[in-house]
A and B are shown apart, each in its own frame.
Chain A
Amino acid sequence: MRKKSSMLVLVSAMSVSLLAGCGGNNDGAQPSATASSSGGTSAASKTIRFATWDTGDALKIEQDIAKKFEQDHPGTKVQVEAYADGFDQKLAAGFGATNPPDVMYMWDFPTYHQSLEPLDSYASQDASLNMDDFYSGLFNYGKIDDKLYGIPVGFTTRVVYYNKKLFDAAQVPYPKDGWTWSDFQDISKKLTDKAQKQYGFGVRASNDTYDLQGFVWSNGSSFISDDGKTIDGYMNSKETAESIQMFGDLVKNGSAVLVGGKGQQSGEDIFKAGKLAMWESGIWPLESFKAAGIDVGTVEMPAFPGKPVKGVIAESALSIAKDSKQKELAWEFIKYYASDEAIKMRTADLPVRVSVVNELKKDQDPLYKPFYTMLERSDNTPAFLLNAKWNEVNRQLSAAVEAVVHGSVAQDALNEAVKDSQRFLK
């Protein structure tokens, strides 16, 4: 109450000073107005705004790429806006106020495509982009109703990381491609030593259901039907429940630890501390694992007996806002961002161009190889591309998955989630 009223006072005080500025001090206000507009319009320098969700080292790389672009294009300025955790809020606010950044990172095309510029004509008219050089399939993630809204600039598949030292100490052979989930469960059990606070595997306290799709597909099911209209019998199918239940059971029977809850260490931190034998993730933590001195290995995901392993791609693309006033320059920037030169600077995810991978021999590196094996296995369409209301269905699904890793029965939790989501599928 007190805070509220003092906020009110503050807000009104601020509005007073604004009004005073407008009314009495015209000549004072004018110079600043011209100063800000000159940045956008004058021929001497053009500014494009570029919004990213990255922070830390990845952000640093992106700023470097932006600087390189400025050097190659004299008279341009790229304003890198790091939205971090507030990416969606800030971006949505920008679109809502018709003042969005010109170029932005994008993955959630179903939510935003109405505010994005279709890029088909740019891409087809501009041979220098060389679309054939991209890994096939990456463009599908940026397409809505057959229109292209984003150019892929980075991606990763998911693999299992393992700590070789812990395997050696327990005399357990390293996992190999073609292993199964029962192998995985056995190893996890063997490598758990609670007295040492060492665990075979870490299960995230709150999972991104997007990442779990690979397991569900591997078990022959999916969250939603291929036409995107039905979840009953998919999200709560026996196979889906089985694959989610597996993680709940690992926690329940003590062969895995729940990680990343509030005030708890993340799985990555525990892995870096050498107390986690296996961890499931994308390419992102690889460098930090190496830097922490862990003798790390990677292997493709385990299989359900008799079924093909499927993977999921996490892709980031760049898009142009429909309301952008400098689409040409924005396109130039995207093109540079997807060029060999910029891709080589980006070490936090996998190169999108086949030529770069071949040149760097990335797919020969044993640590990287499983990522490319998983790429070949990633041909299913993720649920969010199939239904425009997926975000809200996912809210129920996420709650169900969280309940399962905290001890609920997967089949019941998923049935509930399906029931509660029906209203979004009409």
Chain B
Amino acid sequence: MANTYPRQAGESAASLKPARKRGRGRVTPYLFIFPWIVGFLVFTLGPLLFSLVISLFDWPIVGQVHFIGFGNYTEMFTQDPLFWKSFGITLKFAAIFVPLNIIVAMGLAILLNQSTRGNAFFRTAFYLPSVISGVALAMIWSWVYSGEYGILNFFLSLVGVQGPDWLNDTRWSLVAMVLASLWGQGAMMLIFLAGLKGIPKDLYESASIDGAGTLRRFVSITVPMLSPTILFNLITSIIAAFQQLTLALVLTGGGPMKSTYFYAMYMYENAFKYFRMGYSAANAWFMFLIVLGLSFLVFKSSEAWVFYEGEMKRKPKRNARRRSG
């Protein structure tokens, strides 16, 4: 008795436990993430949806709010030249920045992937700029670019080039923005580096045995094996390019003559300089749709150029397809 009773109790408890666990299991995880869900609903999804509502109103901070339907949208499409101008500048910026960003980040990652001495040092050195916050970064670049005292023009003068007044010259200001934006991209470089590390060495070895040169190995092994990483970085780059605000705000203020007046800045000024909350919300939703559309296009196109060879799941499928074909 003395032995069996506790055992029985233990047994019954043990047999009960899984059932209770299963019941509670549905709730407990949610309880753990409850604060984050609340945070997401209150601080992200709520405002996000509310901005859609706002975009249908003439909504100044001070004064009366009026419902105007799609008035904000028709105004920006048909009456506001600044809307198109700033959108054009952003497109131009993205068109230059995104490819360069991918190329430079991938180039750096490939260099760091070589087993040379001091690798850890360079890895840290190249990553360091991304630790600096956006505003501080912009302040640094404002000194670098200074026409008279800037270090960039000093270096250019050493090779006999008279540098422009970068931030006050409409021909160079956008280039200056691209260069400064390219600088803080350590994160992207690291992602590429991780991707490179994931490529099995034997692929390169067998390719070399077959007589493939460096270029051939890069084009036929590195690029395809890295393509999922490229896809990810491409999409984040596009989003980052469209959201570029800090640099424009601090470095050039959108000038000179609106040559760096990015869409995000146009939106920001509509909201916080001219206090047209509704109009600005409409601007934001347009940008959201554009970014969504571009991301969708990239995803669609990725079927043609992204290879998930590294993933075990896909391998048999492809083989099967090949066999049937």
A residues near B, CB below 8 A? 1-3, 8, 11-12, 15-16, 19, 88-89, 92-93, 95-96, 111-112, 114-115, 205-206, 258, 261-264, 391-392, 395, 399, 402-403, 406, 420, 423
Contacts and interface: CB of A to CB of B under 8 A. Distances in A.
Contact of B170 (A3, A11, A406): A406
How many chain B residues sit at the interface, stated as a range, is: 35 or more
Nearest to A116: B62
B258 A263 contact: no
Given A258-B168, A262-B167, 9 more contacts: A12-B43, A112-B62, A114-B63, A115-B63, A205-B256, A261-B168, A263-B167, A264-B168, A395-B82
Contacts of A392: 274, 276
Contacts of B239: 1
A262 B38 contact: no
15 contacts: A1-B236, A8-B39, A12-B40, A15-B43, A19-B38, A92-B61, A92-B62, A93-B61, A115-B63, A262-B168, A262-B252, A263-B146, A263-B167, A399-B257, A403-B257
Nearest to B279: A392
A88 B167 CA distance: 26
A369 B19 CA distance: 92
Contacts of B163: none
B24 interface: no
Nearest to A262: B167
B36 interface: yes
B42 interface: yes
A19 B63 CA distance: 33
Nearest to B276: A392
A403 B38 CA distance: 49
B258 A399 contact: yes
A423 B279 CA distance: 14
B32 to A, nearest CB: 11
Nearest to B44: A8
Contact of B256 (A1, A8, A19, A406): A406
Interface string B264-288: 0000000011111000000000000
Contacts of B256: 205, 261-262, 402, 406
Given A12-B36, A263-B145, A420 B62 contact: no
A376 to B, nearest CB: 34
B160 interface: no
B251 interface: yes
Nearest to A396: B82
Contact of A262 (B40, B43, B255, B272): B255
Contacts of B165: 261, 263-264
Given A19-B38, A263-B150, A95 B62 contact: yes
Nearest to B170: A406
Contacts of B36: 12, 16
B224 interface: no
Contacts of A264: 147-148, 165, 168
Interface string B148-175: 1010000000000000010110100000
Count chain B CB atoms within 10 A of each CB in A93, A96, A263, A402 and give the residue with the most. A263
Contact of B255 (A3, A15, A16, A402): A402
Nearest to B141: A263
B168 A205 contact: yes
B257 A11 contact: no
Contacts of A263: 142-143, 145-147, 150, 165, 167-168
Contacts of A93: 61
B199 interface: no
Q: Which 7 A-B pairs have the closest CB atoms?
A: A12-B39, A16-B35, A262-B167, A261-B168, A263-B146, A92-B61, A96-B61
Interface string B115-143: 00000000000000000001000000011
Given A96-B62, A114-B62, A262 B35 contact: no
Interface string B224-236: 0000000000001
B35 A12 contact: yes
A96 B275 CA distance: 11
B187 A15 contact: no
A16 B38 CA distance: 9
B81 interface: yes
Contacts of A115: 62-63
Contacts of A391: 274
Contacts of A11: 39, 43
A62 B258 CA distance: 36
A189 to B, nearest CB: 23
Interface in B59-117: 61-64, 75, 79-82
A395 B168 contact: no
Contacts of B276: 392
A423 B79 contact: yes
Nearest to A1: B236
A423 B75 contact: yes
A255 B110 CA distance: 53
Count chain A CB atoms within 10 A of each CB in B42, B43, B62, B252 and give the residue with the most. B62
A221 to B, nearest CB: 24
A19 B31 CA distance: 13
B195 interface: no
Contacts of A206: 255
B240 interface: yes
A364 to B, nearest CB: 42
Contact of B42 (A8, A15, A96, A111): A15
B138 to A, nearest CB: 11
